Amino acid sequence: MTTLTLRRPDDWHLHLRDGAMLEGVLPETARHFARAIIMPNLVPPVVRSTDAQAYRDRIDAALPAGMTFTPLMTLYLTEDSDPDDFATAYESGVINAVKLYPAGATTNSASGVRDFDKVRPVLERMAEIGLTLCVHGEVTDPDIDIFDREAVFIDRVLDPIRRATPGLRVTMEHITTSDAVDYVTDTAGHIGATITTHHLMINRNHMLVGGIRPHYYCLPVVKRATHQQALRKAAVSGNPRFFLGTDSAPHTDDNKETACGCAGVFSASNTMACLAHVFEEEGALDKLEGFASLFGPAHYGLEPNVETITLERSDEAIPYPAKIETGAGPVTLFDPGHPLHWRVLD
């Protein structure tokens, strides 16, 4: 039996949804994580300061008695976003970041940005006040192959935006390629990247060989094994630019197991066990605390959590539920396809 104690982790990219789904999934995150950056892609999206405040109140109200959890709110960048409203929301502590979705890139991104010149004034204001831009880094051009959309986005959109807006603080979300690892490693300026649990554990073979596995389908889509290896190397490197954002994104099973299934992997419940598994395989358990608990707060200018959690490794496999039941319907939990031996002690 081995144990590992870490500062309590945070999740720097999380979808909690709303209503019955929010009530069902929030405890799964709050059990292990102290804070999370909450994605604003509701229907309709969280676009104004007042929307973020109201959503935060709904999250607080959904938290079961006896649990503590701090949602770090974001606003959804649209071509009509008001720089003054963003500044007020940030300076009054309502939000911690702004999310950029290229229009059409992923779930509920229709209100996202088409013409990046239209958001230039907002981005300039954000750079001035130190408000972080979280980026869904994929182009939506139908001519670009879905497996190339992240790499092309870096060249055509992200790098030009960063050059045009010096000082802009950027989080490249859920990176999936060695191209993104290289860009984040080598480029100057304030930039970090979140890496999901599932992108460390699966590649496109897991999703497609021997049958199509809808619960492995997410965006950005999992890439070939060499990219997965690059992500694993970055995650265990101890480079503080790479930290955890699970992108845990619940959809009910009927919306995943269908002819045109939604993108999103739900991993909140077993993420810490999965990460311990990955870091152990990489011989880097000593790097897990940096990745899950220290580098994210540093990137966002926050203190790490004071409390700790302890993970325990058993020789026997630890059972995790196949699904969690929510008032919106059952949600399948990420299954890495092999036994897990770690659990978080209560």
Q: By the 8 A CB rule, do 121 and 164 touch?
A: no
Q: Is 247 a catalytic residue?
A: yes
- Cα radius of gyration rounded to whole Å, the chain: 19
Closer to ligand NCD at the Cβ: 24 or 264?
264
CB of 247 to ligand NCD, least distance (A): 5
Q: Does the footprint of ligand NCD cover residue 249 (CB under 6 A)?
A: yes
Q: By the 8 A CB rule, do 228 and 179 touch?
A: no
Closer to Zn ion at the Cβ: 136 or 232?
136
Closer to Zn ion at the Cβ: 179 or 247?
247
| Interface residue list for Zn ion (CB under 5 A) | 247
What Cα–Cα distance (Å) separates residue 83 from each residue in 86, 110, 144, 273, 311? 5, 21, 32, 41, 43
How far is Cα 80 from Cα 161, in angstroms, rounded to an integer? 18
Q: Does the footprint of ligand NCD cover residue 218 (CB under 6 A)?
A: yes
Nearest to 167, CA basis, from 189, 188, 185, 184:
189
Q: Does the footprint of ligand NCD cover residue 232 (CB under 6 A)?
A: no
CB of 293 to ligand NCD, least distance (A): 22
Binding residue for ligand NCD (CB under 6 A) from 15, 32, 198, 227? 15
Q: By the 8 A CB rule, do 240 and 290 touch?
A: yes
CB of 285 to ligand NCD, least distance (A): 27
191-195 and 170-172: which strand pairing? parallel
Burial class (CB in 10 A: 0-12, 13-18, 19+), 229: middle
Binding mask 255-284 for ligand NCD (x = CB under 6 A): --------xx--------------------
Nearest to 238, CA basis, from 286, 282, 287:
287
Q: By the 8 A CB rule, do 25 and 250 touch?
A: yes
Closer to Zn ion at the Cβ: 51 or 247?
247
Q: Does the footprint of ligand NCD cover residue 297 (CB under 6 A)?
A: no
Q: Does the footprint of ligand NCD cover residue 136 (CB under 6 A)?
A: yes
Helix (H, G, I), strand (E, B) or coil at 232: helix
CB of 106 to ligand NCD, least distance (A): 3
The residue number with the shortest CB distance to Zn ion is 247
Q: Which does 11 bind (CB under 5 to 8 A by kind): ligand NCD, Zn ion, none?
A: none
Q: Which does 219 bind (CB under 5 to 8 A by kind): ligand NCD, Zn ion, none?
A: ligand NCD
Nearest to 54, CA basis, from 95, 109, 113:
95
Q: Does the footprint of ligand NCD cover residue 239 (CB under 6 A)?
A: no
How far is Cα 305 from Cα 219, in angstroms, rounded to an integer? 29
Range 102-121, binding ligand NCD (CB under 6 A): 106-107
CB of 221 to Zn ion, least distance (A): 13
Binding residue for ligand NCD (CB under 6 A) from 26, 133, 135, 219? 219
Which residue out of 10, 179, 247, 335 is catalytically annotated?
Answer: 247
Using CB under 6 A as the binding criterion, the count of chain residues that bind ligand NCD stands at 11
Burial class (CB in 10 A: 0-12, 13-18, 19+), 57: exposed
What Cα–Cα distance (Å) separates residue 174 from each residue in 108, 208, 244, 253, 336? 17, 20, 9, 23, 18
Q: Does the footprint of ligand NCD cover residue 41 (CB under 6 A)?
A: yes
Q: Which does 304 bind (CB under 5 to 8 A by kind): Zn ion, ligand NCD, none?
A: none
Beta strands in the chain (DSSP E): 2-7, 11-14, 35-38, 70-76, 97-100, 132-135, 170-172, 191-195, 242-244, 308-313, 323-326, 329-332, 342-344
Closer to Zn ion at the Cβ: 125 or 223?
223
Residues in the site for ligand NCD, rule: CB under 6 A? 15, 41, 106-107, 136, 218-219, 247, 249, 263-264
Residues recognised as catalytic = 247
